């Protein structure tokens, strides 16, 4: 089998070598395997590891360690925030607001709220993919309890104006949840200054392991949420269960590394994006779905006359995503791209190239050449109306 050329960092990232090296020491009998809730020496060792990690993650968010709830990842954090906030506040009102361009973990949680009788307003993006503050202001009602808007879009890299959205919400006494799975450790975040009430993050998008994430909960008066799980009372009962100290420690280290290399990473990604865009500039019939002002690690392009799944096969051994990885299992055109005004064929022909810390110029050049050749081949088989 040919070695994969990995350009799917928006889906998940390989684990940083420093974390791979540290993990055995945390997992084994002489490490921090114990239950951090146990009061014996071994438990206290694990608890100390968790405390360090909480400080590392909190310092990247601008919050207190005690405002973090550990979860299994951003999917769980999104569900806990959205279902937990809406259900807790249902006595005050049942109107909630989000966008159709959110991650499935958010849109499907809102679909569940609809089934429970909540009234959901789905705000369409402006042509640039962003939410206009005017549209948000108009959508907020006296009975609105929760707004959920992501920071960086996982398919296109569109960056929302979270500080602006947050102050709109705070002015009206509405809770704001932000899915920051794609931006945590990659763009500056300051939950206290913005000000955000709930924010979801995950380790495996920042070179940490899969299966560990967190939800920031401001805890200010009126921001309480209901738990999804019931059990041992850990984490204030908000998310009970034995804490996976080794995974939490790995998340903490990943966050510390990300904070340390955030500016370097951003410069690297910006340079790679320019190189890739320059290399595909003269290919006819391409639609660019990622704005210049977007996160530089994601380049989404589509050709309306070529099917994304066929393109994925023709691109091998390149590992990229067609539309969204979450949608591709179902072979539906991406709802995110449809909401941006692409027709079914354009959305179906979309490819997301996403770059990371380890991506090299050679890989960029290989991807561009491969993309050009694959498009040419498929267009030859089924001549369309490109250009
Ligand atoms: C990856 C991702 C998720 C899901 O995170 P998991 O940790 O895999 O559950 C949610 N939202 C966004 C925007 C993502 O990119």
Q: What is the pLDDT of residues 264-287, one digit of tens each?
A: 999 999 999 999 999 999 999 999
Whether 80 maps to a domain, the answer reads yes
Does 317 sit behind a cis peptide bond, omega within 30 degrees of 0 on the bond before it?
yes
Torsion of CA 16, 4, 374, 350, to 10 degrees: -40
- Give the CATH number of the domain where residue 369 resides: 3.90.1150.10
Q: How far apart are CA 362 and CA 367, in angstroms?
A: 9
Pairing mode of beta strands 175-179, 144-148:
parallel
Q: How far apart are CA 268 and CA 127, in angstroms?
A: 28
- Please check whether residue 137 is in contact with residue 168, taking contact to mean a CB–CB distance below 8 angstroms: yes
Q: Helices (DSSP H) in 241-300: which residue ranges?
A: 245-280
Q: How far apart are CA 211 and CA 300, in angstroms?
A: 27
Instruction: Give the closest residue (by CA) to ligand 1 atom 2.
Output: 181
Q: How far apart are CA 368 and CA 348, in angstroms?
A: 19
Q: Which of 256, 273, 308 is the last residue of a domain?
A: 256
- Please check whether residue 92 is in contact with residue 228, taking contact to mean a CB–CB distance below 8 angstroms: no
- C-alpha of residue 92 to centroid of ligand 1, in Å: 30
Whether 386 maps to a domain, the answer reads no
Tell me the residue range of the domain where 313 lies.
5-12+262-381
Residue 144: phi, psi to the nearest 5?
A: -70, 130
Q: What is the pLDDT at residue 381?
A: 82
- Please check whether residue 96 is in contact with residue 147, taking contact to mean a CB–CB distance below 8 angstroms: yes
Dihedral sign of CA atoms 323, 327, 331, 332 in order: negative
- Give the CATH number of the domain where residue 42 resides: 3.40.640.10
Q: Is 297 exposed, middle or buried (0-12, 13-18, 19+ CB in 10 A)?
A: buried
92 and 223 together in one domain: yes
For the chain, list residues with pLDDT below 50. Answer: 324-325, 327-328, 386-387
Whether 387 maps to a domain, the answer reads no
126 and 226 together in one domain: yes
Which helix (H) or strand (E) segment is 178 a member of? strand 175-179
- C-alpha of residue 82 to centroid of ligand 1, in Å: 14
Q: What is the pLDDT at residue 387?
A: 45
Whether 320 maps to a domain, the answer reads yes
* Confidence (pTM): 0.96
- C-alpha of residue 186 to centroid of ligand 1, in Å: 14
230 and 350 together in one domain: no
Whether 329 maps to a domain, the answer reads yes
243 and 144 together in one domain: yes
173 and 310 together in one domain: no
Half-sphere exposure of 218 (CA within 13 A, CB side): 21
Q: How far is CA 251 from CA 55, 58, 187, 307, 345, in A?
A: 11, 11, 17, 37, 39
Best of 77, 105, 327 for a ligand 1 pocket test (most atoms within 8 Å of beta carbon): 105
174 and 222 together in one domain: yes
- C-alpha of residue 309 to centroid of ligand 1, in Å: 22
Whether 291 maps to a domain, the answer reads yes
Largest CA distance in the chain: 71
User: Which residues lie closer than 8 Å to 118 by C-beta, 6 or more apart?
Assistant: 86, 90, 94, 95, 96, 110
Best of 103, 148, 206 for a ligand 1 pocket test (most atoms within 8 Å of beta carbon): 103
Atom of ligand 1 minimally distant from the CA of 205: 1
Q: Work out how many domains the chain is built from and give that number.
A: 2
For residue 108, count other CB atoms closer than 10 A to its CB: 15
Whether 285 maps to a domain, the answer reads yes
Query: DSSP secondary structure string, 208-234?
Result: S-TT-EEEEE---TT-----S--SS-G
Catalytic residue ranges: 326
115 and 52 together in one domain: yes
Q: Is 64 exposed, middle or buried (0-12, 13-18, 19+ CB in 10 A)?
A: middle
- Walk across the sheet containing 68-71 and list its strands: 68-71, 213-217, 198-202, 175-179, 144-148, 95-98, 119-122
DSSP assignment letter at 3: P
Q: Is 279 exposed, middle or buried (0-12, 13-18, 19+ CB in 10 A)?
A: middle
Q: Which of 256, 282, 310 is the last residue of a domain?
A: 256
84 and 194 together in one domain: yes
Q: What is the pLDDT at residue 304?
A: 84
Ligand 1, pocket residues at CB < 6 Å: 73-75, 103, 105, 150, 154, 179, 181-182, 202, 204-205, 213
Q: What is the pLDDT at residue 329?
A: 56
- Please check whether residue 370 is in contact with residue 317, taking contact to mean a CB–CB distance below 8 angstroms: no
Atom of ligand 1 minimally distant from the CA of 182: 15
Q: Which of 224, 256, 288 is the last residue of a domain?
A: 256
160 and 274 together in one domain: no
Q: What is the pLDDT at residue 385?
A: 53
Best of 151, 156, 189, 202 for a ligand 1 pocket test (most atoms within 8 Å of beta carbon): 202
Atom of ligand 1 minimally distant from the CA of 76: 9
34 and 141 together in one domain: yes
Instruction: Give the closest residue (by CA) to ligand 1 atom 14.
Output: 181
192 and 247 together in one domain: yes
141 and 209 together in one domain: yes
Whether 355 maps to a domain, the answer reads yes
The residue with tokens 């705070």 is 170
Residue 187: phi, psi to the nearest 5?
A: -130, 150
């Amino acid at each position: 089998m040919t070695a994969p050329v990995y350009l799917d960092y928006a889906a998940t990232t390989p684990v940083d070598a420093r974390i791979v090296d540290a993990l055995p020491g945390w997992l084994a009998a002489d490490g921090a395997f114990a239950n951090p809730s146990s009061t014996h020496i071994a438990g206290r060792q694990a608890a100390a590891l968790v405390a360090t990690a909480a400080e590392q993650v909190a310092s990247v968010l601008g919050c207190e360690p005690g405002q973090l709830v550990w979860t299994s990842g951003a999917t769980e954090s999104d569900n806990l925030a959205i279902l937990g906030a809406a259900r807790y506040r249902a006595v005050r009102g049942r109107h909630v607001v989000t966008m159709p361009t959110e991650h499935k973990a958010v849109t499907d949680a809102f679909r569940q709220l609809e089934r429970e009788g909540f009234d959901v307003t789905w705000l369409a993006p402006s042509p640039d993919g962003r939410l206009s503050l005017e549209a948000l202001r108009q959508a907020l009602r006296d009975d609105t309890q929760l707004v959920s808007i992501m920071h960086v879009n996982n398919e296109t890299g569109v960056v929302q104006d979270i500080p602006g959205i947050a102050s709109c919400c705070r002015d009206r006494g509405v809770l704001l949840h932000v899915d920051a799975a794609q931006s945590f450790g990659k763009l500056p975040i300051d939950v206290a200054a913005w000000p955000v009430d709930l924010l979801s993050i995950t380790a495996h998008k920042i070179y940490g392991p899969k299966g560990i994430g967190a939800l920031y909960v401001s805890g200010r008066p009126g921001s309480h949420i209901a738990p999804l799980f019931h059990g041992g009372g850990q984490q204030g009962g908000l998310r009970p269960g034995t804490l996976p100290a080794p995974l939490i420690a790995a998340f903490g280290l990943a966050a510390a590394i990300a904070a340390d290399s955030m500016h370097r990473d951003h410069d690297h990604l910006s340079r790679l994006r320019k190189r890739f865009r320059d290399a595909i500039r003269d290919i006819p019939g391409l639609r660019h779905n990622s704005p210049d002002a977007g996160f530089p690690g994601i380049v989404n392009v589509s050709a309306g006359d070529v099917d994304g799944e066929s393109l994925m096969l023709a691109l091998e051994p390149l590992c990229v995503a067609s539309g969204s990885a979450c949608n591709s299992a179902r072979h539906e055109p991406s709802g995110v791209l449809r909401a941006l005004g692409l027709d079914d064929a354009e959305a179906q022909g979309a490819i997301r190239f996403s770059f990371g810390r380890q991506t090299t110029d050679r890989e960029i050049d290989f991807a561009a050449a491969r993309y050009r050749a694959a498009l040419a081949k498929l267009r030859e088989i089924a001549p369309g109306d490109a250009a």
